[in-house]
Structure 1
Amino acid sequence: MTRMKEIPNFQADHHLLRILNASSNKRLHYVAVEGLVQAIGEPISSQFVPRRHGVIQKITKCAHPKSCCEFDLSSTFQEIPNFQADHHLLRILNASSNKRLHYVAVEGLVQAIGEPISSQFVPRRHGVIQKITVHEHWKYWNSALKTWVSKKVNKQQTTNTVPFSLVQPGAYISEVSVRVDSPLEASGDYLEQVHKRLRQAKEGLMDAVVGELSGEKPVALEEREELLHVGSALTAFGELVLEQDKIMRLQPPKDGRSYVLIPGDYKSFIQRRENSANMWKGLTALFGITGFALVAGFIHGAANQDKKN
């Protein structure tokens, strides 16, 4: 195989043209040519990202869309166009083909369309998504270990939602908003826990006797409430469509990519991901150095032992 340093390299300029004209058969059999890519005619427009053009396009469909798209979101999130729910986004959507942006991030403040949901346990707390979870804590006698084992059983979960939209932070009159459709289909840890209580079971003498004989007894009842608050910052990843030239709707993408709701704004989300990536890089380097030191110490100790023998 020819070594790379031996391959002639040129820029795409007049100097290369003169060399090619002077060569036999107007041909150079193996060279390296560098330059900027330019389409001959109309370039290819990206199917998913506005104002992105190329000369080669490759679209991959995943056999398992969810896992593939989660990887796409975590590894290339900085390439996803991000907008605020404002007039600028409305103008872009109006100018786009089919009044549609296939995959974008939209950030804004949560605003209920109509009456919000009131917290069941915390006064003056309102939201647009409410999840109430109830668990029973029981103890079961483990005859093999000769001890009582705790378990959570009979999980009951209730989820309530009202329609909501994202509005621009600082906007006193929300003339422009982005309605978020089917939020329960989205992934993401966007609910905040506002209430958690553990109610201890009251056990009388008869209950204690029955529990000892049956090998099971109630311990406590745990209740938890989570809310997506009105006024909280939220970033949503999905497909954006325009209806009637003024109503913007964010919905689950039709191409199988992840529909995600993230608490906070887009900039904070990027910073958290970068901090997490840097932390894992640091831990990987630390464990690598530690592992190398242990192996080196082991080899050194073994060598010294051989010398003594």
Structure 2
Amino acid sequence: MDFLSEVLGETLILGIDSLILGICVNQLSKCKSILNALQKAPVLDIDHTLNKEIKKYPNDTIPYVVIRGLVKPLGNPITSNYNHNVTGVVQRLTIKEHVIARTSAGFWSDQTRTIHEVCNSTPFVLNNGQYEIEVLDALAAQLLDMDVISDKFEPMTPGVIDHVWGFFSGIRQRGLQTMEEMLRDGSYITAIGELSRTHSGQLKIQPPKDGLPLYLTTATKSSLLQKLTSSRDFLRVLLIIFGSVATVASCRIAYKYIKRRRRKAEEETMKRQLAQGRKERRAHAREKNLSEVQLCVVCTENPKEIILLPCGHVCLCQDCSENITDNCPVCREKIQSKAPAFIT
């Protein structure tokens, strides 16, 4: 049996486990880098001290900083589609389809899929009295906390044809959910990102250039640190679990490989012993004092016992024929097969 077929199950488990393990390692590395950067990030107030703080850093840029302030639009804000009294600076409109789908096991389960999503934004700043910081590329924020302005679910009333079609297709429509979320004008949020000052003296916060995430959230720095610490600890537990599975699968493969090698070594030893036994028995059974014509042309000790085909030369003893497999030692013709020869 081929060795790969023997360890096919362990190989599949090891492959899938290694993929998950690699994803966990990558996520843990990202989580650690974000956690370290956030722990070192200074918490600054939007006031007259900002210009003094930013001068302490090269190129008037703080790589990662925590700023809290009130959201204020630059120009006209976005008006809610469902509540005209609500205005904001970032708007997300989402339409989701709710269905009941049949799984491969034959059960029916609720599923939701987004069929349409639109995001709108307008320039805005974080304000504190007469001081303000412009927020750039808010839609690129990894964490963007917004208020739910409207969340409507419109159920569908299927007819007989819909029921029949749903039974055969495996999907039954439940309804559509329309949701509107907004970052409201006047919200008090925490912005975490790269703070820089332009040549004109304008302060701006944006996604960091070193790959760290931009956060626009209502949570505080300590709350974010707790969430990231929990995520880091959870990823460590996953690493231990999947690392243990990978170790067990690798040990199983190594055990089967060593067992296979030992079995092959035992088989080779048995073959050599059997061959040696046959050789000794042949030596006892052979005739002695034969003429030179009757002796093997290679060893010139044992009688000729093997005929080579297709040339038909009877020139080898059994012992020598086991080592000669290519060409006839007499005519050099290619050996295709061998057969015992009985000379009387």
Task: Give the structure-2-normalised TM-score.
Answer: 0.52
Q: Describe how 1:174-253 pairs up with structure 2 within 5 A.
A: 175-253=130-208
* Counterpart in the other structure of 2:90: 129
Shift in CA distance, 144/177, structure 1 to aligned 2, threshold 3 Å:
closer
**Distance in 1 of aligned mates of 2:209 and 2:227:** 31
**Distance in 2 of aligned mates of 1:77 and 1:276:** 10
Q: Which moved more, 1:107-116 or 1:153-162?
A: 153-162
The two structures, once aligned, show a CA RMSD in angstroms of 3.2
3-state SS of paired residue (2:49): helix
Shift in CA distance, 198/76, structure 1 to aligned 2, threshold 3 Å:
same
Matched, 1:149 2:101: no
Shift in CA distance, 131/254, structure 1 to aligned 2, threshold 3 Å:
same
Q: Describe how 1:59-70 pairs up with structure 2 within 5 A.
A: 68=29, 70=31
User: Which residue type is aligned with residue 86 of structure 2?
Assistant: R
Shift in CA distance, 68/105, structure 1 to aligned 2, threshold 3 Å:
farther
Assess if the C-alpha contact under 8 Å between 2:68 and 2:188 holds in 1: yes
3-state SS of paired residue (1:92): helix
**Distance in 2 of aligned mates of 1:277 and 1:256:** 19
**Distance in 1 of aligned mates of 2:172 and 2:227:** 46
3-state SS of paired residue (2:166): helix
3-state SS of paired residue (2:211): coil
Shift in CA distance, 189/240, structure 1 to aligned 2, threshold 3 Å:
closer
User: Which residue type is aligned with residue 178 of structure 1?
Assistant: I
Assess if the C-alpha contact under 8 Å between 1:186 and 1:259 holds in 2: yes
**Distance in 1 of aligned mates of 2:213 and 2:227:** 22
**Distance in 1 of aligned mates of 2:196 and 2:70:** 19
Select 2:49's aligned residue among 88, 91, 98: 88
Q: Deviations over 1:242-280 (max 9, x none)?
A: 11342101122223333222215xxx44267569979x9
**Distance in 2 of aligned mates of 1:216 and 1:209:** 10
3-state SS of paired residue (1:87): coil
3-state SS of paired residue (1:111): strand
User: Which residue type is aligned with residue 81 of structure 2?
Assistant: Q
Shift in CA distance, 109/68, structure 1 to aligned 2, threshold 3 Å:
farther
Cα drift, residue 99 of structure 1 = 2.1
Assess if the C-alpha contact under 8 Å between 1:78 and 1:270 holds in 2: no
**Distance in 1 of aligned mates of 2:181 and 2:44:** 27
User: Which residue type is aligned with residue 162 of structure 1?
Assistant: T
Q: Describe how 1:94-173 pairs up with structure 2 within 5 A.
A: 94=55, 96-141=57-102, 144-145=105-106, 147-168=107-128, 171=129
Assess if the C-alpha contact under 8 Å between 1:181 and 1:249 holds in 2: yes
User: Which residue type is aligned with residue 222 of structure 2?
Assistant: I
* Counterpart in the other structure of 1:20: none
Shift in CA distance, 254/221, structure 1 to aligned 2, threshold 3 Å:
same
Identity among equivalent pairs (%): 26
* Counterpart in the other structure of 1:261: 216
Cα drift, residue 140 of structure 1 = 3.1
Matched, 1:270 2:222: yes
Cα drift, residue 214 of structure 1 = 4.2
3-state SS of paired residue (1:104): strand
> Any stretches of 5+ residues in structure 1 without a counterpart?
1-63, 282-309
Shift in CA distance, 190/219, structure 1 to aligned 2, threshold 3 Å:
same
**Distance in 2 of aligned mates of 1:177 and 1:208:** 58
Assess if the C-alpha contact under 8 Å between 2:35 and 2:229 holds in 1: no
Q: Flag the structure with higher helix content.
A: 2
Q: Deviations over 1:132-153 (max 9, x none)?
A: 11111122345853x5333223
Assess if the C-alpha contact under 8 Å between 1:104 and 1:237 holds in 2: yes
**Distance in 1 of aligned mates of 2:27 and 2:40:** 19
Cα drift, residue 130 of structure 1 = 1.0
Q: Deviations over 1:224-243 (max 9, x none)?
A: 12111111111112211111
**Distance in 2 of aligned mates of 1:240 and 1:76:** 14
**Distance in 2 of aligned mates of 1:272 and 1:164:** 23
Assess if the C-alpha contact under 8 Å between 2:74 and 2:123 holds in 1: yes
Cα drift, residue 155 of structure 1 = 2.6
